[in-house]
Every structure is written in structure tokens, then in C-alpha cells.
Amino acid sequence: MQSSHDPMKASAAKDAAVIEVADVVKAFGGLRAVDGMSLSLRAGEMIALIGPNGAGKTTMFNLIAGSLRPDAGSIRVGGVDVAREGPDRRIGRGVGRTFQIPRPFAEMSVLENVLTGAQAQAGERPWMNFLVPGRIAAQERAAVDRARELLDFVTLSRLELEPARVLSGGQRKLLELARILMADPRVILLDEPAAGVNPVLLELLIDRIVSLNAAGKTILLIEHNMDMVARLCGRAVVMAAGRLLAEGPPAQIARDPAVISAYLGDVA
Amino acid sequence: MIDLLSYGAFFLSVALSYAIICLGLNVQWGQTGLFNVGIAGFVAIGAYVSALLTTPETVDHLGGFGLPIMAGWLGAALATGFATFLIGALTIRLRADYLAIATFGAAVAIHLCILNLQSVTSGPFGIGFIPRPFANLADRPLAFSLANFALLAAVVLALYLALEHLARSPWGRVLRAIREDEPAALALGKSAVRFRLQAFALGGAIMGLAGATQAHFIGYIAPDNYQPILTFQVWAMLIVGGSGNNRGAILGAVVVWGIWALSGSAVASLFPAEQQARAASLQIVMIGLALCAILLWRPRGILGEARIMSRHVLRRSPPATPLPSTPSET
């Protein structure tokens, strides 16, 4: 998570693109939801993907997250083309995602939800639980300690043994954040983190996202809340009709006539 | 009194052999959500593999190989696990209802193979003289029944402990996560296909072991033992006991087998001999009625699904922290 102490190396690492999407196309029947879109995400950056309803943001997000496979174009993570890989391979590439409508494992405890995010657990192979029980127990204890730290981070500790179904919408977003952090991804994709979250909890969520970015996590978020985008992101990428419409600092984007026109519905 | 004890041990032995099948189904359905409607086929594979491995050599069918009973049971579990893995590799990506159709088709195909591959399975004549555990006690019915009951109880206990250990392991946790929300589990790097296939094959191996124990307990098997009614009985047992609960699977097997045995006695005493074959179908009706009654009383089964957690999760009480709605300083 921390960059190198060598300033030259740190600068080079910052400039490297961790995600590089080039000329991606995704059609559903006759509708080209994403139509030749490109996007680059540099290490340590926090950017927003914005656009009017139907612009193709969620499709683009799902393409990057691996939930959809593109019809054309390439998606590179750390220089490797992952366009044909399934969503379960993304976390191994260091890319984690949350969902617009949170998807907790409702009947599992809050703590076990977070534990499910742990990677490379020997105990996930059934026979290993009988062959090396001591090693599995040690790994599980370490995972529980880490999960508890993350629940402290998102202030859900006191609910750790409750089933996730009892959480409010905002708490579920925090739980999803903790769950994906358990996998320790380099890049976090946040799908509308502010949607449906009460203002007090939203401040907490923003605070945690800023902390994560400051700690070196690269973050891409879809968000409609422009105040939040302006507070969080150094760069915003605007999509309309499946294509790139504009790109730049949020304050500049907000004044762009083409962007204003797209939001008012003039873009076909 | 001795007869009653002897019958009780016999009854529980049969019920426990069904409990083993139920434990296998609980891995597949209760923990993973895999809708297997081909149980009878997987039980049949185990029964025939163990019978072929352990019976004396004969010209009537393949083998037998005259191996010890334990080798037969192990071979049955491994062969059925492998067969289930192969069937699963083809079908596990199917949605629940299509998986049900595919597994039903697999069971029908297995039944037809057993019926028609006469040189291997002896076809409709079945396989007899399957060695029975504690055969040296056969002239003492009570000791024989109690010894078999103790053996089956030990097998069920060992399976129960192993499956509880697995359910509380990271593997069991991932299975529950996939069952609850597959896209969310995929986003966490959990390959739903791999975990489902493992659970399907493990459940199949347990069903195969159950088939072997039944074959050796009765001493004779035939294709008609493995009709869809067996699948129905096992599903009824798991639903009655409590899907997702290993204790429920065992309890359900005992309760439903009890209803089955009682209804059999009722049919025998209420109907004249010439009508009893036709009246036997009332046993299925009684199981259905009992199923409805229990589900009205306990919709999640007698025991319901147990809340399973890693023992490490319960290691210490949670620390006191601010309320979630109160942002804390970072």
C-alpha cells in the first residue's frame, strides 16, 4: 500500500497506468451501451466516472470489474489483457469492486461477511482442513484479527456477530467496503457509494474513502453526487451515449457546455 | 423383549443408512443450494461398486473381487465421488431447475445401465451374497442387529463430525456465501463453479458410501432398489429434519423412516393380502401428508438451519466502538 522511499521510483509508480481500457465496445442486441470507450487509471489516483442516465457508466464499470466481457477492445490491468477473464479473477489482479445496491451475504454474520474477502486461504480447500488443521487455525485467527480491524475502520465492530440482513443501507455500503478491503486490492471500484446513504453516514464513508486513497489505493467511482465528486476526485471522466464526452478536473467538467448539454438531454 | 430390541436396532440401522444419504444431500442442497434430483442413481453406483469389489468371483457378473468390506466402502465412495464429479463438470453451471432435470436424467441413465449391462451388474437379477459385517453373529439376531447398528452409528458420527468441521471452515463459509449471493462471492475471487463442483462430488461420495452400507446391511441389491421413490424419501427426510442442518438431516432420516415403517405396518394390517401391493402406494401418500403437516408446524424443518460460524469468530467478545452512525476521527 505504501509507495517506495525513492522519490524517482515513487513518481514512476504514480504515473504507471494500473488499468488501461482501450476502444471497448459492448452491445446488448442492437444497443451499443459502450461504443469505443477508452479510459486510463494511474496508480494512486482517484477518479470519477460520471454521465447522464443511460450513458453506459454501469456497463463500463461492469466491463472493468469483469462481470461483462467486451465485444471488442482491450482491458489491461497491470499491463495484462484481462478482457476474457471472469469476475472471480479480478481480485487476484488486485481489482476489487462494490455494488450499486449492496450485496451482503444476508444470513451470515457481519464478521463472516468480511472474512469471506480473505484471499489465499488454505482452508478453502476442503481436504486441507483435515491435513493441516494447525496451519488453517493460525491463518483463520490472523484473518479474524484483520477483519476486526477493518470493522473498526468502518465502525461496524459492535455488530460483528449480527446477521448482515439487520444492517441499514448505509451500513451495508460500509460492510461492502470492509469486505473488499479484506482482499487488499490495489484498485477499488466503487459503484455509487453515496446512493441511499444518510448524510451522517455519508461523511463517514467519504472520510474512509479519502483515507484509503491517501494510503495508496487507486479508486474509480461512479457517482451522481457532484459535490462528492468535486471533494474526492482530481479527475472526472464523462460518458454519454457509450462514448467519452469529456475528461478533466471536476470543476472544469462542471462548466463544460458539452457536459451540461448531455445532462440536459441534447446528446442523441 | 429381545425381538423388540432386535427390531429396534434393525430399524435404526436402516434409518442411519438413510441418514448418511441425507448428510450427502445436505452438503449439496443445504449448504450449497445444488438441486440434486438424481440421488437414487448416486446411491446405486456406490452399492454396485462395493458389491462388485467384495463379492466372491462369479460368472454371473464382473468380478467379484473378494475384497474386504472396508475396501468396498472406500471404493464405493471414491467411484461415486468421481462419477458425481464428471456429471457435475457437465451440469454444474446450469440453473437450479435445469440442474434438477439433468441430475434426474443422470439417475435414469444409471438405472438403465444397471438394468441392461448384464455382464457387469447381473442386470435385473441383481447381486446376492454381498458379505455382511459381523456375519459370524448371524445366528444371534440381537447381537447381529446391535453390532450393525453400532457400526452404522459410528459411520454417521464420524461423518457428522467431519461435515461440521468442514461447515465451520473457510470452505464452508465460501459455500454459504455462494449460496446467498453468487455475484458478490465472484467479486471476492471465489470461483462458484469450483466450489460447487467440490460440494457436489463430496455429497455424491457420501451417497455412494451410503449405498454401499445399505448393500452390505441387506446382502442383496437389484436395480429396482434405486427407483425415484428413493430420491423422494431422502428429500422428505432432509426437509422434515431441517435443510442446512446436519443434525436435522440425521433426525429427519429417523422420523421419515419411522413414518414409512409405521405406514407399512398399517397397510399390512388394514388391507387384505390381495390388495396390499396396490395399497402400498398409500405409504407415499402418508409421507406426503406428514411432510405437509411438519412444514405447516415447522416451516424450516424440525430443527431448522443451524447458524454456523468459525470457532475463531467466537474467540472474544467484540470491542466497544462508536455507533455506526457516529463518524469517528481517523
Cβ-contact A50, A227 below 8 angstroms: no
CB atoms within 10 A of CB A39: 21
A159 contacts in B (CB within 8 Å)?
324
Interatomic CA distance for residues B178 and B186, integer angstroms: 8
Give the pairing type, strands A187-191 and A95-97. parallel
User: What's residue B38's pLDDT?
Assistant: 95
In-domain check, residue B113: yes
Interatomic CA distance for residues B83 and A220, integer angstroms: 45
Interatomic CA distance for residues B264 and B258, integer angstroms: 10
Name the least confident of A81-90, A103-112, B72-81, B309-318: B309-318
User: What's residue A263's pLDDT?
Assistant: 78
In-domain check, residue A122: no
Interatomic CA distance for residues A20 and B244, integer angstroms: 44
Residue B320 at interface with chain A, using a CB cutoff of 8 Å: yes
A89 contacts in B (CB within 8 Å)?
189
In-domain check, residue B58: yes
What SS3 class is residue B307? coil
Q: To which residue does cell 461512479 refer?
A: A222
Residue A94 at interface with chain B, using a CB cutoff of 8 Å: no
For residue A76, what is the domain's CATH number? Answer: 3.40.50.300
User: What's residue B306's pLDDT?
Assistant: 76
Q: Average of pLDDT values for A206-230?
A: 91
Residue B171 at interface with chain A, using a CB cutoff of 8 Å: yes
- Upstream peptide bond of B64 is cis (omega within 30 degrees of 0): yes
Name the closest residue on chain B to residue A144, using Cα atoms.
Answer: B313
pLDDT at B313 over 80: no
> A124–B170: do the CB atoms touch at under 8 Å?
yes
> B202–A211: do the CB atoms touch at under 8 Å?
no
Average model confidence (pLDDT) across chain A:
89
Q: Average of pLDDT values for B10-38?
A: 95
Cβ-contact A178, A211 below 8 angstroms: no
Residue B202 at interface with chain A, using a CB cutoff of 8 Å: yes
In-domain check, residue B107: yes
Of B310, B320, B323, the CB nearest to A140: B310
Q: Average of pLDDT values for A186-204?
A: 88
| Domain span at B140 | 13-226
pLDDT tens, residue by residue, B108-159: 999 999 999 999 999 999 999 999 999 888 888 889 999 999 999 999 999 9
Angle, CA of A232, A238 and A239, to the nearest 5°:
140
pLDDT tens, residue by residue, B264-312: 888 888 888 888 888 888 888 888 888 899 889 998 899 988 777 777 7
In-domain check, residue B186: yes
Amino acid type, B163: L
pLDDT at B320 over 50: no
Q: Identify the band that residue B316 occupies on the pLDDT scale cut at 50, 70 and 90.
A: low
In-domain check, residue B324: no
For residue B229 the three cell numbers come to 421413490
Residue A103 at interface with chain B, using a CB cutoff of 8 Å: yes
Cβ-contact A14, A43 below 8 angstroms: yes
Domain count, chain B: 1
In-domain check, residue A137: no
Q: The sheet that has A243-248: what strands, in order across it?
A: A95-97, A187-191, A218-222, A46-50, A235-240, A243-248
In-domain check, residue B128: yes
The complex scores an ipTM of 0.89
Q: Average of pLDDT values for A147-159?
A: 94
pLDDT at A51 over 80: yes
Residue A121 at interface with chain B, using a CB cutoff of 8 Å: yes
Q: Average of pLDDT values for A228-233?
A: 90
Q: What is the pTM of this model?
A: 0.88
Closest CA to B134 of B51, B10, B217: B217
Least Cα separation, residue A34 to chain B (angstroms): 22
* % chain A with pLDDT above 70: 93
For residue A92 the three cell numbers come to 487476484
Interatomic CA distance for residues A174 and A208, integer angstroms: 9
Q: DSSP letter for B304, please.
A: -
Backbone phi, psi, residue B299, to 5°: -60, -25
B320 contacts in A (CB within 8 Å)?
158
In-domain check, residue A120: no
Interatomic CA distance for residues B27 and B210, integer angstroms: 14
In-domain check, residue B124: yes
> A116–B171: do the CB atoms touch at under 8 Å?
no
For residue A146 the three cell numbers come to 484483520
Backbone phi, psi, residue A37, to 5°: -85, 140
Burial class (CB in 10 A: 0-12, 13-18, 19+), B165: middle
Query: CB-based contacts of B103: which residues, under 8 Å, 6+ apart?
Result: B35, B36, B37, B38, B41, B87, B91
Cβ-contact B31, B179 below 8 angstroms: yes
For residue B221 the three cell numbers come to 441389491
pLDDT at B161 over 70: yes
Cβ-contact A213, A47 below 8 angstroms: no
Residue B161 at interface with chain A, using a CB cutoff of 8 Å: no
| Domain span at A44 | 18-107+169-265
Domain count, chain A: 1
Burial class (CB in 10 A: 0-12, 13-18, 19+), B154: exposed
Amino acid type, B250: I
Residue B273 at interface with chain A, using a CB cutoff of 8 Å: no
In-domain check, residue A140: no
pLDDT tens, residue by residue, B91-102: 998 877 899 999
In-domain check, residue B286: no
Least Cα separation, residue B244 to chain A (angstroms): 12
Q: Identify the band that residue B215 occupies on the pLDDT scale cut at 50, 70 and 90.
A: very high
